[in-house]
Structure formats: C-alpha cells, structure tokens
Structure 1
Amino acid sequence: MPGSATPDVVVVGAGMVGAACAEALSAAGVRVLVIDRDGPAAGTTASGEGNVLVSDKEPGPELELAIASRAEWDVVLSRLPERVADVEWETKGGVVVATTDPEPLRAFAAKQRAAGVDARVITPAEAFELEPLLTPRVTVGVHYPDDAQVQPVLAATALLAAVRDRGGEVRSGVAARAVRRSAQGRVVGVETDDGVIACGAVLNACGPWAGSFSADAGAPIQVLPRRGMILVTAPLPECVRHKVYDADYVGAVGSGDAELQTSTVVESTRSGTVLIGSSRERIGFDDSVRVKVLRELAAKTVGLFPFLGDVPVMRAYGGFRPYAPDHLPVIGPDPRTPGLWHATGHEGAGIGLAPSTGRLITELFLGLAPHVDPDPFRVDRPAVLAS
C-alpha cells in the first residue's frame, strides 16, 4: 500500500486479534493500516500464555470457532515470511485431570467428542505416562492432542510483518479518538491524536479497551476488562510435557462471576520456564499485584504438581482480557454505523481464536461465504449492545 493511498481498513489495535485480522485482510488484497497507541503486542497479547485450545470450551458457537481456528492456524503459519516464521508453535497437546469425582470430566469429554473434538479419556496410569510428575491423587484424565501453544508476542509481530510485506502499514504510538462520518453516517476516517486518517472502514480490535473506543466511536458495545495473573518459574529441565490443567478450569472459563476465581493451568515454554495460572477477576483496570491471587495459584499448582513446591518463582505478571457478558466474541460489522467493525470480546481465548476471527472478518468484509456461522458473534445481540 503506497504511503499516499487511502487504506480500505484501519485496524485499531495491534494485538493478536488485530494483527490476525490485518493479516487475513491483506492476504485477500485489502489495503490495511494498523494503528496502536502503544505498539505491536504491547497490551493483552504480551500478558497471555499463548493458548490455542479446543479442550476448555463447552459445545456451542465458541467451540465451533475454536475448532475452525485450530485448523486455520496451519494456514496462517504457512503464510508467514520465512524470516519471522519461528513463533514457537508447539503442537504439544493438552491433558485435563480430575482429582475428585471423575464423572463430570468424563461427561464433559463425551459432549465435546459429540461436537467433533478429539477428547480421549485416559486412566490415572495413562495420565502418569503422559505427565510422570502429576499428583497421585488423579482420578481420571482427558488427553486433547489438538491443543497447541504459541509465543503470542512473536506470533502477533510476525503477522504484522506479513502485513507490511504486502504493502500494508503499522503505526505505533497513534491513539484512535473517534471515527469520522459522512453526511449519510458512513465511516470515512478515524480521528487520532496524530490527525485524521481517511479510510473506507475502521475495525475496533482494542481488546479490553474496545468498549471505551466503541463509545468514542458513537456505537457503544459491552466489553469489560477481566484481569488474569500468571506465575513464571526459573528455567527447569523438561518436566511438564503438555498443557496441563485441572477440571475446574472449564468452569472458570465459562463463569461470569466478578469475584476472584482460580484454577490450575501449568505448561512449559521453550526457554524452560513453567507458566502457572490461571486467575479471573473483574476489578476494572486495577493493575496492582494482589498477593492473595498469587498465593492461591501457587497452592493449587502444588496440589497438581507437587514437585513445583520446591521450585523458585522468577516473576509474576498480569493482564486484562476483553470480556463480553455472554462469553462470546464480538465479530462483524456494526449495523448502527456503516463502515465500523468490531473484533473483540475473546477474553482469554484470543490467541487461539485469532486466525478464524481474521478469516471471518475478511469473509464478511468481502461478501464471501463465511467458514463459520457469524450470527452468534454479531454486534447487535442484546448482551453486547450498550445503551
């Protein structure tokens, strides 16, 4: 895209979802400009674990999107420029275990299998074969071969590199303030602190700040921040081979409770550190370190992997995830303002769902047949529309 050309779409937000949308649009020949008030992957994306999961979702629209997105990851990775293609993509699979009543986890796996997920119920002995350092209190496990992991900052910046290679542009340090409309009410530009950028459409990919930007754009949607915390251990020899979490995690993912919820999620990184989560708490944009949260995470983790009780924690970090009240992403055009689009509300699943989100935005933008049903994610559903 020449510097003087008017972009077809200005993507507001250079996190994982914005980057994936920009990459998919540019791969289809759409002229794209990405802006971010900070820089690529500087917000929610930098504070995530890189989860690409089908294992943690109840049957329904989000699971369908996750299954499609897991397949789309292979397509997106194949389009990355060779110089940035190593995004620490690992098809390690996931293991979910119960340490109490095994029946709820077995029933959940059965529902997922009926929805098309490869969910293999395993005995405690088989769980120990996959993860020898697990607690002996395991009563049942489920192996999910399709779960994967990616380094989210590397992935987002690689997607944006692909956008640039196709002539698109990425501008850091540019904050969007509002959209500019024609006399007929259609978007014709985005107002920024660096001036007005003329464009054909604006995509709100602001993550937890999407609700704020949508209000500034005159078309408010309900997207709220939900904070999560992660512990990081010192580097270790190989000790956790899969993404491992307890059966309580599924309930925490689907809960709308504003109070603190913690469940055990453990995985190793390529550098040897172990990431320990997870927590969910609706406390606005309060970014203070909450010792209570860290203590709960540590205590529950030792209950799942006792050896971690003797391992030093190197650091802790947290971030805000975009939460929609009905737990479904917001993907598509805003019927109130022609030319305004949204891609947000993925909460903690944005890394995994980003490729299909980008593909769906591109299909809808170009009038192509969508690869998943877009209706459950529409902007004008009652749970999302703000007054």
Structure 2
Amino acid sequence: MEKNADVIVIGSGVIGSSVAYNLAKKGASVLMLEAGTLGSGASSACDGFVILQSKSPGPHLTMALASEILYRTLSEELDYDIGYSHCGGMIIIEREEELEAMKIFMSKQKDLGLDVSLISGDEARIVEPALSKHIVGATISSRDAQVNPLYMVNGYITAAKRLGLRVKKHKKATDFIQDKERIIGVKCGCDSLYADNVVVCNSIGAPELFSKIGCELPIIPRRGQLVITEPVNPLIHHVMLCSRYIAAKYHPELLEGSSDESVRLGVGMALEQTAEGGLLIGSTREFVGADRSATVAGVRAVTQHAARIVPALKRIRAVRTFAGLRPYTPDGKAFMGAVPAHKGLFVAAGHEGDGIAYAPITGKTIAELVVDGSTGVDLTPFAVDRRIEKH
C-alpha cells in the first residue's frame, strides 16, 4: 500500500479549499478530491456575505468573530484578490414588533464583542437612502464585509498549489478504506487512495459517504434561489439582510403553513452590490431534496420581497437566476472536528449560510487539529456526536 498523501480533503468549496490551504501551510502533503469542478457546489451559488450580525450569540458568533479577523489580511496572505470589501452590514427591520426581539439579539451579540448598534428608520435612510419609507429601523455593524466566493476558492487553491497541493477533479469519493478502527484512505469507484488522515468537506455528499461506516450525519439540502441584476450605479453601500432572514434561518418551522407564499418559501432578503455594479438578491430556503432549479414562484417571491425594502429594484432588470443547495443541520450548527471511533477521519461540513463567514477559521482550526492533534478553538458545540436538538 503506497500512501498518496498525508491528508485527503474531500470537497473543493470555500471550506474544503480553506482546509486544504491551511494543511499545506502547515507542511502536510494534501490531495483534494472533487466530484465535479472546483467550487461547483454551494460555493458557486451563494452570496458573498461575511456578515456577523446574522450569527446567533454563542458558538456561531464566536467563530465568525475569529474568522473576520483572518479575512482582513487574507488577500495579502494568499497573494490573490478574493474580492474582500470591508463595507459594513445592516439588518433591516420592517415591523415595530420586531424591534424588541432585535434589541435582545443585538445586546447578546455586543456582550460577545460585536460592534453593532440599533438605529431608527430615519437614521437607516440617511445611511442607505434607497431604503423604503416604511422601514422602522435597522441594526448596523462596521465589522460586516463581503467577498467573492469563487475568488476565495481560486485564491485558496492557487496558494495551496504553490505549497504542493494536488487536485483530482471529477473524482467522487464513494467509500472509506478502513484498517480496524482507523480510516486509511478513500475509494473513488474502483480506485483506492491512501492517506494518514481524511477530511470530509463535501457537505451535501457527506451523509451518503458517512453512511458507509454506519455513521449518521444529519445534513439536509436546502435550496436557495437568487437573482442577479444588470450593473447599475452604486445603489447600496452595505451588505443587507432583513430580520425575517434570521427567522427563516433559525426557525424554519415557523414558516410552514403560512398563507403568504414568500413566507412558506423561507424568503428572507439578502442584498449586496458587487464591484461590477450588479446586485445579488436572495433568497429562498426550501427543502426540496436535490433540486437545484430556479422556479418562477421562488424568483418572484425573492424579487418582490427585496423590492418592498429597496423600491428602486423595481426599475432594475434581472439578467440571471440560479439556485444552490445549502447544507442545513437540525440545530443550525456545522459538524467540525474528529469523528469518534474512526481515527484519522475529520469533518468540516454542514455550515449552511455560515460557510463564507466561517471559512478562514474553519480551515485554520481543522488543520491544527489534524497536524498538531489539538486546537485552541472549542469545537465541542460542533461535535459529530453531540446531542442534536432542533433550534
């Protein structure tokens, strides 16, 4: 048996590419396996929000705060422009009854060190004149930012290749190779590839792979539909979410049975303007299996909801629609760390809408765990064998 690498990384999205880069940076020989083309999963069909305000106080926000610090120098470190813009972010509040809930949410975030404040509707319109007159308030933070997800993937992989990373595209991992209680490689159809350690980062494909070793990994695909507009002059200056986005993310059960189609589709506004001038508008949150198609109902719900908050969107043409699958977990937390009872096996999957924000700290932490055997980041809340309760 000839070893193919010190570490095999499965998946090439923002999480897998960050893990591969950080492993290579620590001197490990790394082989990346990608079932399709690089970054062709969730990372190719999402927004580029590095937004901390959407993270619930606790492990979510702690990870995001640590990641944001790494983002500040990431383009320089990788010697690659990842499209990082420290633009700040806002969460838009449409109804008076949501103000108190956001005050409590924000207060807990501030206790953990997030620079965030609540402003009135009039103050929000001074900061962002395009907002509708019915907006009653917003939370705002200067620490929020945006990146280009595919630039990130390319940046990480390009930098990792300089450190020796090898990549096999169109190579789907179909099973693990075991030697008693240890994972010593993966099978790709009839091919066998061997390594001291394996890190699984292909979130949507991870449950099928883990089932081969009798391990249940409750990651469920959740479709997000988005719209891209024609380029226009600067319309907004921050990345924006609406408060309903947070409800859709953390409490999907509250959306079921609503008479409002956009509520049933889990629509919560995500809005950013790219460097080229196009606006990215999202998104739905739907449990429809592996269906990645955009639908008329989904696109209509997304655009109408966003246009209610930013009326100028009604006069801007959409040029493209697309959808991606987000890796949802029942308690809203990703799976990160060593896999119990299977030495040499690690996972970093199930980040759903947190993948972009978490990517730098996830890669650094998993690399430390694999190479050094320990990390200073507490991964207990993200353990594979944790007790999972719906949030």
Q: TM-score, normalised by structure 1?
A: 0.93
Question: Residue type matched to 2:195 in 1?
Answer: C
Within the candidate set 84, 89, 98, 2:93 is matched to 98
**Is the contact between residue 241 and residue 270 of structure 2 (CA under 8 Å) also seen in structure 1?**
yes
Q: Given the alignment of the two structures, is residue 199 of structure 1 paired with residue 204 of structure 2, yes or no? A: no
Any idea what the Cα deviations from partners look like across 1:324-361, whole Å, max 9, x if unmatched? 11110100111132111111010011011111111111
Aligned to 2:265: 260
Aligned to 1:64: 62
Q: Given the alignment of the two structures, is residue 209 of structure 1 paired with residue 231 of structure 2, yes or no? A: no
Tell me the secondary structure at the aligned position of residue 57 of structure 1. Answer: coil
Any idea what the Cα deviations from partners look like across 1:347-384, whole Å, max 9, x if unmatched? 01101111111111122223455232111011111329
Within the candidate set 331, 334, 337, 1:332 is matched to 337
Q: Given the alignment of the two structures, is residue 365 of structure 1 paired with residue 370 of structure 2, yes or no? A: yes
Q: CA deviation at 1:176?
A: 0.7
Q: Do the aligned partners of residues 217 and 163 (structure 1) sit closer, same or farther apart at CA in structure 2, a change above 3 Å counting?
A: farther
Tell me, in whole angstroms, the C-alpha distance in 1 between the residues paired with 2:364 and 2:69: 12
Any idea what the Cα deviations from partners look like across 1:78-113, whole Å, max 9, x if unmatched? 320x3xx11111111101121211322223222211
Within the candidate set 239, 245, 253, 1:243 is matched to 239
Aligned to 2:298: 293
Aligned to 2:260: none
Tell me the secondary structure at the aligned position of residue 107 of structure 1. Answer: helix
Tell me, in whole angstroms, the C-alpha distance in 1 between the residues paired with 2:189 and 2:44: 24
1:59-208 equivalences under 5 Å are: 59-80=57-78, 82=79, 85-101=80-96, 102-182=99-179, 184-193=180-189, 195-208=191-204
> Gapped runs of 5+ residues in structure 1?
none
Tell me, in whole angstroms, the C-alpha distance in 1 between the residues paired with 2:56 and 2:20: 29
Q: CA deviation at 1:119?
A: 0.5
Q: CA deviation at 1:294?
A: 1.3
Within the candidate set 13, 33, 36, 2:34 is matched to 36
Tell me, in whole angstroms, the C-alpha distance in 1 between the residues paired with 2:317 and 2:151: 26
Any idea what the Cα deviations from partners look like across 1:98-150, whole Å, max 9, x if unmatched? 12113222232222111211102223232122211110112112111111111
Tell me, in whole angstroms, the C-alpha distance in 1 between the residues paired with 2:371 and 2:363: 12
Aligned to 2:308: 303
**Is the contact between residue 219 and residue 337 of structure 1 (CA under 8 Å) also seen in structure 2?**
no
Any idea what the Cα deviations from partners look like across 1:36-91, whole Å, max 9, x if unmatched? 011211111000111111110111111111111111223543320x3xx1111111
**Is the contact between residue 134 and residue 304 of structure 1 (CA under 8 Å) also seen in structure 2?**
yes
> Structure 1 residues 313-322 or 184-193, which shifts more?
184-193
**Is the contact between residue 11 and residue 201 of structure 2 (CA under 8 Å) also seen in structure 1?**
yes
Q: CA deviation at 1:10?
A: 0.3
> Gapped runs of 5+ residues in structure 2?
257-263
Percent of residue pairs identical? 29
Tell me, in whole angstroms, the C-alpha distance in 2 between the residues paired with 1:306 and 1:45: 29
Q: Given the alignment of the two structures, is residue 281 of structure 1 paired with residue 276 of structure 2, yes or no? A: no
Aligned to 1:226: 222
Q: CA deviation at 1:287?
A: 2.4
Aligned to 1:7: 5
Tell me the secondary structure at the aligned position of residue 262 of structure 1. Answer: coil
Q: CA deviation at 1:289?
A: 2.6
Question: Residue type matched to 1:345 in 2?
Answer: G
Tell me the secondary structure at the aligned position of residue 362 of structure 1. Answer: helix
Question: Residue type matched to 1:275 in 2?
Answer: L
Q: Count residues in correspondence.
A: 377
Q: Do the aligned partners of residues 270 and 194 (structure 1) sit closer, same or farther apart at CA in structure 2, a change above 3 Å counting?
A: farther
**Is the contact between residue 11 and residue 35 of structure 1 (CA under 8 Å) also seen in structure 2?**
yes
Tell me, in whole angstroms, the C-alpha distance in 1 between the residues paired with 2:273 and 2:376: 33
Aligned to 1:25: 23
Q: CA RMSD in A?
A: 1.7
